[in-house]
């Protein structure tokens, strides 16, 4: 199974400041035939199911604010919140879909400093 | 709008089975696959398996192979997940989620049900 490792486990950021979350896969999730990274990001608020933010590593889901962006390739990926808002307090998860079983990172909790 | 509505919370004894339903609306049920993912207290999300609602193709995580069965009823636009031989470690919130692609391969999950808490306790 592909192991997904996120860092940090938690971070506190001031309102309006940048938040950066890292995700590393134990093997490449870049499919060479189509040059796509099989990596997605979710946001989960307390008591709610996860919400899709980003897929194909950098494609923003419809309706997701443009302060959320995804980058990276191969084994190293980043989710960036360019200007943290109060409603962004949540746990963020990466997930690979390069090969089953689909696997998730351990989550990064984002709080307000 | 796309909605996935799951059945209510369950309390089961060790060794029993549980069957959770997921009723879909707002889209053509057979055009998309449905995943099942669980989240135990304080644990990361864990993928259990997937069913293509159109082709009935299924794929399970090796971890649950032999204990989990995912089915669907197209006449009811509903998917089901049955987990057998329950143990205390199976206590978790179980989610169904729609696959965001229209391929016959598990990808990303674009719409999620509200979750069903399954508690396994003697």
Q: In the predicted model, what is the mean pLDDT of residues B24-46?
A: 96
pLDDT value of residue B85: 97
> Is residue B106 predicted with pLDDT exceeding 90?
no
Q: Which residues 26-55 in chain A show a CB within 8 A of chain B?
A: 38, 40, 42, 49-52, 55
- Mean pLDDT, chain A, integer: 97
Strands B10-12 and B116-120: parallel
Which pLDDT value is given to residue B17? 98
Q: What are phi and psi of A39, to 5 degrees?
A: -140, 135
Q: Which of residues 83-102 of A touch B (CB under 8 A)?
A: 93, 95, 97, 100-102
Inter-chain contact B44–A105, Cβ cutoff 8 Å? yes
pLDDT at B101 over 90: no
Confidence of residue B94 (pLDDT cuts 50, 70, 90): very high
Q: Is the pLDDT of residue B103 over 90?
A: no
pLDDT value at A108 more than 90: yes
Pick from A24-28, B10-14, B100-104, B107-111: least confident: B100-104
| The residue to which tokens 């084994």 are assigned | A75
Is the predicted pLDDT of residue A12 greater than 90, yes or no? Answer: yes
Question: In this predicted structure, what is the pLDDT of residue B77?
Answer: 97
pLDDT at B65: 83
Q: Cα separation of B98 and B108, whole Å?
A: 8
**Nearest chain B alpha carbon to A5:** B44
Per-residue model confidence as pLDDT tens digits over B81-91? 999 999 999 99
Mean pLDDT of B97-120: 93
The stretch A9-24 carries a mean pLDDT of: 98
The predicted pLDDT at position B42 comes to: 86
Q: What does the pLDDT average to over B35-44? A: 94
pLDDT at A38: 97
Are B9 and B21 within 8 A, CB to CB? no
Chains A and B: how many Cβ contacts under 8 Å? 53
Distance CA B120, CA B85 (A): 10
Mean pLDDT (whole number) for B57-74: 95
pLDDT at B105: 86
Closest residue by Cα to residue A21 from A86, A93, A87 = A93
Contact assignment for B63 to A101 by CB distance below 8 Å = yes
């Amino acid at each position: 199974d592909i192991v997904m490792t996120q860092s940090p486990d938690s971070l506190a950021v001031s309102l309006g400041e940048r938040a950066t979350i890292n995700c590393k896969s134990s093997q490449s999730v870049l499919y060479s035939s189509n040059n796509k990274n099989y990596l997605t990001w979710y946001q989960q608020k307390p008591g709610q199911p996860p919400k899709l933010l980003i897929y194909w590593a950098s494609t923003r889901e419809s309706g997701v604010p443009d302060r959320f962006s995804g980058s990276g390739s191969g084994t190293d990926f980043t989710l960036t919140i360019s200007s943290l808002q109060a409603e962004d307090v949540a746990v963020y998860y990466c997930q690979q879909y390069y090969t089953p079983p689909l696997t998730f990172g351990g989550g990064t909790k984002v709080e307000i400093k | 709008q796309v909605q996935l509505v799951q059945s209510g919370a369950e309390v089961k004894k060790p060794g029993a089975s549980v069957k959770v339903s997921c009723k879909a609306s707002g889209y053509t049920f057979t055009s998309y696959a449905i995943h099942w993912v669980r989240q135990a207290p304080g644990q990361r999300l864990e993928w259990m398996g997937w069913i293509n609602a159109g082709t009935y193709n299924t794929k399970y995580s090796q971890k649950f192979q032999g204990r989990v069965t995912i089915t669907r009823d197209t006449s009811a636009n509903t998917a089901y997940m049955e987990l057998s031989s329950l143990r205390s470690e199976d206590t978790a919130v179980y989610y169904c989620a729609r696959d965001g692609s229209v391929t016959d391969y598990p990808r990303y999950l674009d719409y999620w049900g509200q979750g069903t808490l399954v508690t396994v306790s003697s």
